[in-house]
């Protein structure tokens, strides 16, 4: 369930800033995501989705802090939590 803060941030179309492994990442508002991101989501292509949503610079940093699948999964969970969404839902 999204938090009130997350709903407000989303309603105001603001970026969500979160930290993962001492690196700061900025999750752009979903309303700005390119169609490539939606396509990747529909196709279940998580890496393509992350690159489309976060952009080349942040995606490069994601690859630097996530050396394997479990670490990438932790990153995705951290991004969901920053957005106020329970990844188990």
- Tell me: the pLDDT tens digits for 5-45? 555 555 567 899 999 999 999 999 988 999 999 999 999 99
In a domain, 89, yes or no: no
If one counts the domains in the chain, the total is 1
In a domain, 68, yes or no: yes
pLDDT at position 23:
96
Please say if the pLDDT value at position 74 is more than 90. yes
In a domain, 70, yes or no: yes
pLDDT at position 10:
55
Rounded distance between C-alpha atoms, residue 28 and residue 12, angstroms: 12
The encoded tokens of residue 78 equal 């951290």
**Which residues make Cβ contacts (< 8 Å) with residue 53, sequence separation at least 6?**
27, 28, 33, 37
* Mean per-residue pLDDT of the chain: 87
């Amino acid at each position: 369930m999204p938090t009130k803060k997350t709903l407000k941030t989303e309603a105001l179309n603001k970026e969500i800033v979160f930290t993962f492994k001492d690196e700061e990442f900025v999750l752009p508002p979903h309303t700005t995501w390119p169609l490539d991101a939606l396509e990747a989501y529909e196709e279940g292509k998580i890496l393509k989705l992350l690159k489309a949503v976060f952009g080349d610079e942040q995606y490069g940093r994601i690859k630097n802090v996530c050396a394997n699948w479990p670490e990438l999964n932790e990153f995705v969970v951290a991004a969901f939590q920053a957005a106020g969404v329970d990844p188990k839902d």
